[in-house]
Amino acid sequence: MSDLRQQLQKHYDAQALPAEKAEVVLADGRAAAEGGEKVVELPARRVTFWRALPAIAAAILLLGSLALWWVPQRGKISYALFAPRVRDFFSTPPELPKRSQNPDELRTWLLAQGAPAGFQIPAKLRSLKSFGCQVVNVHGKSAYLTCFWREKKPGVDDGELVHLLVARRKDFEDAPHSGTPQFRTVKDWSFAAWTEGDVIYTMAAHAPVETLQKFVSNAESRAPFVATGKLPRAVSS
C-alpha cells in the first residue's frame, strides 16, 4: 500500500469513516493525481452570416478598387516601344511561317492567329506583291505583320520590303487617335502610324520617310511629321 493510501486510511480509520467511503475518496484522489485537472473547453462563439456581412462587403469593395487600379496599369503598354521592337525584330532575318503572293491569303492567316477582324490591307500595298506574314510579340502584346515587295530585285528573297503591322488600340497607350498618318524616324527606319476604329496601323520600311510616304494613302499632300521620339498625342478639336 502506498504512503498516501496508508495516511488516508489511518486518518479515516481514526474518524471512523466507513471503508466504502474511504475507497471512493481514494479513487477520486488517484484520478486527480494521475490525470491532472480536467480542462473543459468553452463552446466557440457563433458568428451569424448577417453579422459578418459588413466585413464581407468591405472586403469586396477593397478588392474591386484594387482591380480597377491594377488592370489599367497592366493592360496597356506605351506605343513608343513599338518602333524599337520592330527594328529589333528585323535586326536578323525573321522566320515567316506563312508566305504567299496573294495578300488575301496572308490576311486570312493573320485573322486565324487572332488579328483584329476589322483590319484591311491599304490599297497602295495591295498593288504590290506580298511576301509573307508573322505575329510579332511587342512586350507582351501582339502585332500582326504583313510584308510586301516595294522594290523587287533578282532572286526569290532579294529585294526591298515595306511592312504593315496592325494591332489593337486597347493594347497601347500614346497611339495615334486619328486616321491622319503620323511619321517618325528611328535611326535608319521610317514609320507611319494611324488609327481606324479599334485598329492601329503601322507601316515601316528600312528607308527614308520619303520612300515610305508614297505607300500611305494621300500622304503626298500632307507635310510629314518627322521625329526621333514618341509619337505626339492627337490634339482634340
Which tens digits make up the pLDDT trace of 207-218? 999 989 989 875
The CATH number given to whatever domain includes residue 84 is: 3.40.1000
> According to the model, what pLDDT value does residue 222 have?
38
Residue 147 covered by a domain? yes
Q: Is the dihedral of CA 95, 97, 103, 109 positive or negative?
A: negative
Q: Are residues 27 and 109 in the same domain?
A: no
Cross-strand pairs, 159: 152
What angle, rounded to 10 degrees, do the helices at 3-14 and 19-35 form?
150
pLDDT, tens digit, 9 for 90 and up, residues 124-146: 999 899 999 999 999 999 999 99
> According to the model, what pLDDT value does residue 177 have?
84
CA distance 208 to 212: 7
Residue 83 covered by a domain? yes
pLDDT, tens digit, 9 for 90 and up, residues 16-52: 556 666 566 666 656 655 555 555 555 555 556 566 6
Assessment of whether the complete model's pTM goes beyond 0.85: no
Q: Are residues 127 and 12 in the same domain?
A: no
Q: Which residue did the predictor score with more confidence, 24 or 237?
A: 24
> According to the model, what pLDDT value does residue 60 have?
66
Cell numbers given for 11: 486518518
Q: Which residue did the predictor score with more confidence, 166 or 14?
A: 166
Q: Are residues 127 and 194 in the same domain?
A: yes
Q: Are residues 20 and 117 in the same domain?
A: no
Q: Which residue did the predictor score with more confidence, 3 or 107?
A: 107
Q: Are residues 199 and 105 in the same domain?
A: yes
Closest to 181 (Cα-Cα) out of 207, 160, 209, 152: 209
> According to the model, what pLDDT value does residue 112 have?
96
- How many structural domains comprise the chain? 2
Cross-strand pairs, 133: 98, 146
pLDDT, tens digit, 9 for 90 and up, residues 46-85: 556 566 666 676 666 655 554 443 444 458 899 999 999 9
> According to the model, what pLDDT value does residue 75 have?
81
CA distance 25 to 8: 9
> According to the model, what pLDDT value does residue 164 have?
97
> According to the model, what pLDDT value does residue 217 have?
73
Q: Are residues 98 and 165 in the same domain?
A: yes
Q: Which residue range(s) make up the domain with 167?
A: 77-221
End-to-end CA distance of the chain, in Å? 108
Q: Are residues 197 and 86 in the same domain?
A: yes
pLDDT, tens digit, 9 for 90 and up, residues 134-185: 999 999 999 999 999 987 655 545 568 999 999 999 999 988 888 899 999 9
Residue 14 covered by a domain? yes
> According to the model, what pLDDT value does residue 24 have?
63
> HSE on the CB side for 76, CA within 13 Å?
14
> According to the model, what pLDDT value does residue 35 have?
57
Residue 105 covered by a domain? yes
Grade residue 223 by pLDDT with cuts at 50, 70 and 90: very low
> According to the model, what pLDDT value does residue 85 have?
95
Residue in the block written with cell 496601323: 201
pLDDT, tens digit, 9 for 90 and up, residues 81-105: 999 999 999 999 889 999 998 999 9
Residue in the block written with cell 495516511: 7
